Amino acid sequence: MSSARTSTRRLPATGGGTVTRSVLPNGVRLVTEAMPGVRSSSVGIWVPVGSRDESRALAGTSHFLEHLLFKGTETRSALDIAAAMDAVGGEFNAFTEKEHTCFYATVLDRDLPLAVDVVSDVVLHATVLARDVEVERSVVLEEIAMRDDDPTDLVHDEFALALHGDTPIGRPILGSVDSITALTRRQIHGYYSRRYSPGSMVVAVAGNVDHADVLRQVRRAFRDEDGPDPAARSRPEHPTSAPVHAVHVVEDDTEQANLVLGGYGLSRHDERRFALGVLSAAIGGGSSSRLFQKIREERGLAYSVYSFSAGYSDTGSFGVYAGCQPGKAEEVLGLMVTELDAVANGRLDDAEIQRGKGQMRGGLVLGLEDSSSRMTRIGKSELVYGDVLGLDQLLERVDAVTPADVAAVAEELLNRPRCLTVVGPFGEHDFDGTV
């Protein structure tokens, strides 16, 4: 694979670093960010495969596979993989989302060639043996049990299910006890063979690195890999409409009520996502936010109160969360509804919007203080947008948001049909008619 066939270009700087992008002949995209002032380097391989790519029978396969790839490759055992990273004091991990999976490692800058070799070996050459499937099946089932025992996590999975229904985007990333129990080695390995197309992957590296050196390492790691599968399936679009369930109660004998109230949001490609970010910060992004002040500071009804949004390729969600004593749930919910209604009708003042913009700016800058966070930003940006915006460009987008922009997004999103999900010691119909 000759360098003459590899296209390379510089991108806008990200927080002082130099970002460079290359595309290998087989379609693999490499983005690096040079951070000369640090002694660490982080590498991540981003795969455009997540739980949204699963049928009902394969629910949880993406996450199950994430576990299995660490169990051994054609040339390394699980112990070999762990020992190689431990020997250099490195960190090696992975995570699965709705639309992508990432395998990443952080090491001293001098050990980056080892990290690139190990991470790429795990992603490209895993054996997925039957005995490992059985071992990791138990681990994943324990993970599901842990999620079920943590109502603050469970309520968000149940909210997605209530909002989107029993669809790939609505089902939990972990899968269910039934789906994980039924999965076979053949199904999982087949999913791996079909979905993990090297030519669709993004390799992101940040830290004290030289792009040309990293490019040689990545070329070597991917030298025998084919390009993208021309028959690769696209995801079916998820129509944005009313929530599948207006009220969804999960009865659980807990000492706290966990409430999520929300609805459909914006896709990650919607240019209004910056206005939504400001709106979310103003509603529940910090201690000065509307809901934090009204629910916690003024009335002491809850310890944890916040807003959140998620954007996918064709849809999104927006919601607010509160955790409180069960006896206070009705009052807390009433305040959540009242404040969302007020914001929907334009009653968010300029000072709140300016604080929301300040929170977004601070989050962008302060979240880029280490090589791992820089790697995550450039890798995800390249994977989902096909480009990497510089930090100054992002800050300009935030600064350009006007009160009118925020009001328009609030009016549209917060007047849509809402979905309430509650996990706590309640009956199925205790919250009927509340939203």
- What residues act catalytically? 66
Phi, psi of 310 (to 5 degrees): -140, 135
Bridge partners of 14, per DSSP, are: 17
CA distances from 369 to 15, 38, 206, 208, 364 (A): 9, 10, 11, 13, 10
Question: Closest Cα partner for 263 from 194, 182, 344?
Answer: 344
Question: Closest Cα partner for 104 from 200, 239, 206, 230?
Answer: 206
String of DSSP letters for 99-111 = S-EEEEEEEEGGG
| Residue whose tokens read 């990200």 | 14
- The whole-angstrom separation of Cα 192 and Cα 196 is 5
- The whole-angstrom separation of Cα 173 and Cα 310 is 14
SS3 sequence of 144-207 = HHHHHCCHHHHHHHHHHHHHHCCCCCCCCCCCCHHHHHHCCHHHHHHHHHHHCCHHHCEEEEEE
Structure tokens at 301: 């009804």
Structure tokens at 92: 């090696």
Cβ neighbours, 10 Å, residue 144: 18
Q: Is there a contact between 42 and 205 (Cβ–Cβ < 8 Å)?
A: yes
Q: Is there a contact between 122 and 382 (Cβ–Cβ < 8 Å)?
A: no
